[in-house]
Amino acid sequence: MKKAFIFDLDGVIVDTAKYHFLAWQKIAQALHINFTQEHNELLKGVSRVRSLDIILELGNVEASQEDKDKWLIQKNEDYLSYLVDMDESEILPGVFKILQLLKDKNQGIALGSASKNARPILEKTGILSYFDAIVDGNDVSKAKPDPEVFLKAAQLLHIDPKNAIVFEDSVAGIQAANSAEMVSIGIGEKTILHEADYIFNDFTFVDENFIDKLIN
Ligand code: BG6
Ligand code: MG
């Protein structure tokens, strides 16, 4: 049976969470806001605009729209500077194997990401051609935990949401998959992603038997 396998990008396919963190930390430091790795967990899967609002809330800082727009541009420019040398070596362990396995089994493969930088990242890492559909931050109006991004991806693949499987590293993303009534698979820590139907530390723990179980 053909199913839709929908992948989040940041933290699932590539380890960009560290770059998002570094770029946000610079903004936070300039504003004298204490912003830690734990706080960064709150930003995973969350849009750029909402991420800035969360950081400002953490520091009890109120800002004009003009300042916010300036910081959003600064953050993204800084983030992009970390991606300049990005190549396939940044693909997380086991991802290639799973993508190839799904291709060999003629499954639908889509991207469902909040990032507006998704396409250049897929190009730089050389995996763009694996994806039959791409839905990213440029295509949605409602951010995760709203299911819009995943529902659109399934629609583009012409596959019923009930036959879709989502790989996610963020709490917001797992909630989005759950409210779309898709199978949610957390990639990361059990303590954080406990709302997921299945949880794996990384893709090296996802084997062919498990994929076959999902397909049949
Ligand atoms: C998500 C990340 O995938 O994309 C978030 O988990 C990020 O941390 C969001 O803020 C938006 O990304 P971008 O690249 O459009 O700033
Ligand atoms: Mg993510």
Query: Do 149 and 57 share a structural domain?
Result: no
Confirm or reject: Cβ of 47 under 6 Å from ligand 1. yes
Query: Do 195 and 145 share a structural domain?
Result: yes
Residue ending a domain, choose from 54, 83, 112: 83
Identify the band that residue 192 occupies on the pLDDT scale cut at 50, 70 and 90.
very high
Range of the domain at 51: 17-83
Confirm or reject: Cβ of 137 under 6 Å from ligand 1. yes
Residue ending a domain, choose from 83, 103, 135: 83
| Position 189 pLDDT exceeds 90 | yes
Query: Do 142 and 206 share a structural domain?
Result: yes
Query: Do 146 and 102 share a structural domain?
Result: yes
Query: Do 131 and 67 share a structural domain?
Result: no
Any alpha helices (H) in 85-140, and if so which ranges? 95-104, 118-124
Contact 35, 58 (CB under 8 A): yes
Structure tokens at 45: 């899967």
Identify the band that residue 41 occupies on the pLDDT scale cut at 50, 70 and 90.
confident
Residues bordering ligand 2, an ion, CB closer than 5 Å: 8, 10-11, 45, 169-170
Is there a catalytic annotation at residue 78?
no
Per the structure, how many domains does the chain have? 2
Query: Do 103 and 66 share a structural domain?
Result: no
Which CATH number is 9's domain given? 3.40.50.1000
Angle at 51 between CA 176 and CA 145, to 5 degrees: 10
Confirm or reject: Cβ of 75 under 6 Å from ligand 1. no
Is there a catalytic annotation at residue 202?
no
Structure tokens at 100: 């190839």
Query: Do 34 and 9 share a structural domain?
Result: no
For 17-43, b/e burial (b = at least 16 CB within 10 A) is bebbbebbbebbeebebebeeebbbbb
Amino acid making up residue 114: A
Average pLDDT over residues 141-160: 97
Substitution candidate for ligand 1 out of 8, 20, 166 with most atoms within 8 A of CB? 20
Q: Is 102 helix (H, G, I), strand (E, B) or coil?
A: helix
Which CATH number is 48's domain given? 1.10.150.240
Confirm or reject: Cβ of 115 under 6 Å from ligand 1. yes
CA distances from 128 to 98, 209, 211 (A): 14, 26, 21
Confirm or reject: Cβ of 16 under 6 Å from ligand 1. no
For residue 117, how far is its CA from the centre of ligand 2 (angstroms)? Answer: 13
Confirm or reject: Cβ of 112 under 6 Å from ligand 1. no
Query: Do 182 and 100 share a structural domain?
Result: yes
Identify the band that residue 214 occupies on the pLDDT scale cut at 50, 70 and 90.
very high
Per residue in 67-79, pLDDT (tens digit) is: 999 999 999 999 9
The phi-psi region of residue 60 (left if phi > 0; otherwise alpha if psi is between -120 and 50; otherwise beta) is: left
Average pLDDT over residues 51-66: 97
CA distances from 138 to 91, 117, 147, 165, 171 (A): 22, 9, 15, 22, 21
Query: Do 47 and 130 share a structural domain?
Result: no
Query: Do 126 and 202 share a structural domain?
Result: yes
Residue ending a domain, choose from 83, 101, 125: 83
Query: Do 207 and 103 share a structural domain?
Result: yes
For residue 42, how far is its CA from the centre of ligand 1 (angstroms)? Answer: 12
Query: Do 109 and 8 share a structural domain?
Result: yes
Per residue in 164-187, pLDDT (tens digit) is: 999 999 999 999 999 999 999 999
For residue 114, how far is its CA from the centre of ligand 2 (angstroms)? Answer: 8
Helix axes 208-215, 95-104, angle to 10 degrees: 40
pLDDT in the model for residue 10: 96
